[in-house]
């Protein structure tokens, strides 16, 4: 795996277990205070045209713990923000650093960085996908449930980048996934079809519905994301109306398995996509999930850098 851009394209079914094992091993080493400087002397350029707490901290700390260094670059710091072609930036950075992580709006920008550069490119988030989050999610579920295959995850809300990547990830892991979204905001057919292709191999089931209670029935994991993503602030009032029936609350949680857990990629907005009693309750593992971004991202970095 040279690049980590698209979960469906870049992560094989068997490779997923390998990545999760690496993440778990490095988490154990971190907790035990055991150094794991697998990337001594390596440098990661981190391009952010979308701001973030978890993505920046996890990649920057991750590179430090791996013995390397990370360089933060906002759109104000580099020439992309002043009209330089992606191709030029890719070639320049390829001669100076060992890898690029980019968190941005247009998915094509990430694809072009990999196309024109000669170093690994990691997709930290685009408007279409959020693949790095997925490895942390699966690691968290495996820690809490002991397995992935055969479990059911229910995603409730906007058919956005997180939902698209969850379809890809659950199908690869052999997990059933039900996505409940309004018809006007469901996941694009492309991601549903990708998931169904992998599901045919792993045995998972893919269900798309408008009914959150249908999706949540007997689920082992309930998953929410913000109703208003970055760049959608002007639509906030309208989006709250659209998604008002897609809140994860105690009634919806009662439909899930009695031992179901709650996940959210954060930031969360209590009282909108999830109620306070759920996200701050005993069945919520959102902060363990956030911590696992660090270890999942280290697994991605090691796999990309050492195989490039």
- Active site includes 56? no
Q: What sign does the dihedral 233-264-9-214 (CA atoms) show?
A: negative
Q: In 210-253, which ranges are E strands?
A: 221-224
Distance separating alpha carbons of residues 226 and 236, to the nearest angstrom: 11
Query: Taking a C-beta distance cutoff of 8 angstroms, is the pair 134, 7 a contact?
Result: yes
Selecting among 265, 295, 297, 304, the annotated active-site residue is 265
Degrees (nearest 5) of the Cα angle 13, 17, 21? 160
- 7-38 burial, b if ≥16 CB within 10 A, otherwise e? bbebbeeeebeebbebbbebbeebeeeeeeeb
- Residues 8, 54, 103, 239: which is the catalytic one? 103
Say which of 65, 129, 133, 247 is annotated catalytic: 133
Q: Is 270 a catalytic residue?
A: no
66 SS3 class: coil
CA–CA gap between residue 208 and residue 215 (Å, rounded) = 8
Of the candidates 225, 239, 297, 304, the residue annotated as catalytic is 225
Selecting among 293, 295, 297, 304, the annotated active-site residue is 293
Strand, coil or helix: 232: coil
Which one is catalytic: 3, 130, 264, 295? 130
Take residue 63 and report the two structure tokens written for it.
Answer: 């590179």
| Residues 168/162, Cβ–Cβ less than 8 Å | no
CA 26/CA 268 separation, integer angstroms: 27
For residues 78 and 89, give the distance between their C-alpha atoms in angstroms, rounded to a whole number.
9
Is 225 assigned a catalytic role? yes
* Catalytic residue status for 185: no
**265 tagged catalytic:** yes
Phi, psi of 222 (to 5 degrees): -110, 135
* Half-sphere exposure in the Cβ direction for 27 (13 Å, CA): 21
Give yes or no: 187 in active site.
no
| CA atoms within a 13 Å half-sphere pointing along the CA-CB vector of 88 | 8
So which residues are the catalytic ones?
103, 130, 133, 225, 265, 293
């Amino acid at each position: 795996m040279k690049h980590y851009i698209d979960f469906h394209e870049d992560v094989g079914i068997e490779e997923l277990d390998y990545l999760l094992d690496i993440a778990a091993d490095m988490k154990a080493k971190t907790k035990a205070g055991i150094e794991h400087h697998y990337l001594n002397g390596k440098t990661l350029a981190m391009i952010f045209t979308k701001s973030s707490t978890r993505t920046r901290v996890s990649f920057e700390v991750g590179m430090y713990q791996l013995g390397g260094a990370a360089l933060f670059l906002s759109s104000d710091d580099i020439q992309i923000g002043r009209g330089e072609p992606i191709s030029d930036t890719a070639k320049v950075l390829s001669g100076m650093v060992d890898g690029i992580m980019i968190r941005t709006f247009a998915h094509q920008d990430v694809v072009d960085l990999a196309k024109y550069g000669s170093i690994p490119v990691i997709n930290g988030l685009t408007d279409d996908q959020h693949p790095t989050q997925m490895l942390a999610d699966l690691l968290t579920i495996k820690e809490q449930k002991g397995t992935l295959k055969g479990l059911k995850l229910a995603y409730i809300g906007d058919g956005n980048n997180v939902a698209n990547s969850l379809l890809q990830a659950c199908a690869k892991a052999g997990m059933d996934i039900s996505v409940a979204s309004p018809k006007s905001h469901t996941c694009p057919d492309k991601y549903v079809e990708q998931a169904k292709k992998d599901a045919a191999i792993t045995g998972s089931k893919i269900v798309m519905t408008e009914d959150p209670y249908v999706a949540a029935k007997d689920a082992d994991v309930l998953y929410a994301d913000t109703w208003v993503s970055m760049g959608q602030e002007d639509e906030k009032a309208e989006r709250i109306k659209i998604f008002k029936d897609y809140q994860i609350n105690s009634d919806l949680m009662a439909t899930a398995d009695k031992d179901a857990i709650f996940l959210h990629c954060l930031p969360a907005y209590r009282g909108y996509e999830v109620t306070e009693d759920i996200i701050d309750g005993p069945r919520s593992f959102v902060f363990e999930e956030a911590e696992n971004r660090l270890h999942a991202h280290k697994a991605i970095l090691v796999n990309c850098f050492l195989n490039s």
